[in-house]
Every structure is written in structure tokens, then in C-alpha cells.
Amino acid sequence: MLTQAHIDRVVAAALEEDAPWGDLTSEYLLPENARARADLVAREHGVFSGGEVFAAAFRLTDPRIDVELVVEDGEWFEPGAVLAVVTGPARGVLTAERIGLNFAQRMSGIATLTGRYVAEVAHTAARIVDTRKTTPGLRAFERKAVRDGGGRNHRHSLSDAVMAKDNHLAVLAHTHASVTAALQAAKDRLPHTTHIEVEVDRLDQIEPVLEAGIGTIMLDNFSLDDLRAGVALIAGRAVVEASGGVSLETVRAIAETGVDVISVGALTHSARALDLGLDVRIDAP
């Protein structure tokens, strides 16, 4: 969950990075009593995300700046739409401009890309989820953007759930431990509320995992035929997640195999920033 305290902490650090000893241009060029109005304008079609983060950049720079959010997070918009209106002391508006835009463009880009994936699978029961392939320090921001685009969140961190991936299974194999027995032993030690997911990359790995009573099985880099076979084999005994090789071109066919969840790292690691601009007017003192 993205809290206001988290927003303020990260945005304050970004502002300090951008103007560690003040904004020399604004302070020395603009009259102290000049005021500005700035419209956050969409240059392309998309989904808005990061409104409160955008507003925080201006509020933390100068509490006299007012930000009116015209569009809510999660709303689609067209090119030319005004998404927010900023008014207040011109120096502060221009000092916060880049940081506010950076966050809004990044988060809206993720939300827009997520929305496109969600639209591709809307005729199925599959859910689009993100992964931990996020920008370090910005995971909560990027996860919020995925939700704004209509997607869901996977585990937030390594501490949230057990997820045995191929490298974990490789270590177990090296020790000659039974996968089923190792998973059952882990279940016995874990709190009953902890979810367990296991990644497999072959059909013959599924049954030993099912024998351990695991909640979710990830079918990693399976062909469409093997995805269908995996769904049939699991037969509702666990949640089926598909991962690997997922793109806007392939996600529809993957969803139509009957999987429950499709995890897409590209939502956060490959989303481009959306083209948003801040059109500023300076009022003479």
C-alpha cells in the first residue's frame, strides 16, 4: 500500500536530489512575488496514475502551492486533456516541475501499459499481475500504478510469501531432497496463513508439487499446448500462474489456455514514461 508518509519521504528525497542547495535559476531570475498557473496536459492517450505523488512534489516545495487534480487515478484520458492545475508562487512551481512530472509520467506509463494488457484478456478469467522487477525504492509507487491500470499485485517482497523458483529447486535437487517432502516440511514450519507458490518448467514437475498441497503453481515459459495440458492436470487443485514470454502480442492466447494468473515483468521494467507536459503561465508581479 502506498501511504502518504511513504509518498512524502520518497518525493522529499527526489526534491533534495534535484535541488540540494535550492533552484538557482528560479531564485535569481524570477521575482519573489511572481505567481504561476501550470496545467498538467496529456500529450497522448493513457491512464492517469500518481496524482497524489504529483501534488506532493509541489506541496513539499512550497505549502502555498495549490494542486487541483482534475482526473482521478485509474481514469483514461485523451490527448489534450488537463489532468491537474497547479497555482502558486512561480519559483516553487518551477522548482517542483520536473520531479512532479517524472513521477506522473512514470506511473501513468505503467498504468497505461497495464490497462492494455488487461484489455487483451478481458474476455477470460485470467488476472494480470506484476512482478518484483521494479525500480529499487519505487516498488510501492509502481505497484500502485499497476492497480490503477486494472492489474493486480504479486507478492510485495520476499517476506510476504514462499515462492520456490527454479534455483531453489535446483539446490534441493543437488542435495537429493524430495521436492514433495521439502515442501511439506516447509508448510509444517510456516504459519498457516502463509501462501506457498512453486515454479515449474516441465509438466512432469507438477504432480510432486501437487502432492505437497501447494496453493499456486507457476508454469514458466510453457508452450501454449503445455499450458493447456498443465491446466488440465492441475484441474483446480491449485491456482495456475503463467509466466515467461508474455507480451501484448501473446497474452491473449496465454489467457485463453485457462490459466488463472499471468505475471508480466514488462509492466514495470519496460513501461515507457507517458508524454505529459506542464504548461506554465507566469503572472507579472
pLDDT of 258 above 80 = yes
Residues 182-239: tens digit of each pLDDT: 888 889 999 999 999 999 999 999 999 999 999 999 999 999 999 999 999 999 999 9
* 45 and 148 belong to one structural domain: no
pLDDT of 176 above 90 = no
Residue 171 maps to which CATH number?
3.20.20.70
* 227 and 257 belong to one structural domain: yes
Residues 265-283: tens digit of each pLDDT: 999 999 999 999 999 987 6
Q: What is the mean pLDDT of residues 6-22?
A: 97
Residue 22 maps to which CATH number?
3.90.1170.20
Q: What is the mean pLDDT of residues 241-262?
A: 97
Facing residues of 200 across strands? Answer: 219
CB 83 within 8 A of CB 276: yes
* Strand bridging mode 196-200 / 216-220: parallel
* 128 and 262 belong to one structural domain: yes
* 202 and 89 belong to one structural domain: no
Residues 89-134: tens digit of each pLDDT: 999 999 999 999 999 999 999 999 999 999 999 999 999 999 999 9
Instruction: Grade residue 175 by pLDDT with cuts at 50, 70 and 90.
Output: confident
At residue 76, the 3 state secondary structure works out as strand
* 70 and 126 belong to one structural domain: no
* 31 and 110 belong to one structural domain: yes
Alpha-carbon gap, residue 209 to 216, rounded angstroms: 9
pLDDT of 37 above 70 = yes
* 94 and 184 belong to one structural domain: no
* Sequence-ordered list of residues with C-beta below 8 angstroms from that of 103, at least 6 positions apart, any chain: 11, 14, 50, 53, 54, 57, 141
Predicted confidence at residue 284, as pLDDT, reads 58
* 244 and 279 belong to one structural domain: no
* 88 and 35 belong to one structural domain: yes
Predicted confidence at residue 282, as pLDDT, reads 79
Strands (E), 35-190: 35-42, 46-47, 66-69, 76-77, 82-89, 127-129, 162-164
| Segment among 29-43, 58-72, 270-284 with least mean pLDDT | 270-284
Predicted confidence at residue 182, as pLDDT, reads 87
Gyration radius (Cα) of the chain, Å: 23
Number of neighbouring beta carbons within 10 Å of residue 22: 11
Question: Per the structure, how many domains does the chain have?
Answer: 2
Task: Write out the residue range of the structural domain in which residue 175 sits.
Answer: 122-269
Estimate the crossing angle of helix 4-18 against helix 90-120, to 10 degrees: 120
Q: Percent of the chain beyond pLDDT 90? A: 88
Instruction: Grade residue 285 by pLDDT with cuts at 50, 70 and 90.
Output: low
**Active-site positions?**
98, 133, 165, 199, 220
Alpha-carbon gap, residue 68 to 83, rounded angstroms: 9
* 199 and 279 belong to one structural domain: no
* 27 and 112 belong to one structural domain: yes
Predicted confidence at residue 141, as pLDDT, reads 98
Alpha-carbon gap, residue 209 to 166, rounded angstroms: 13
CB 179 within 8 A of CB 209: yes
* 51 and 171 belong to one structural domain: no
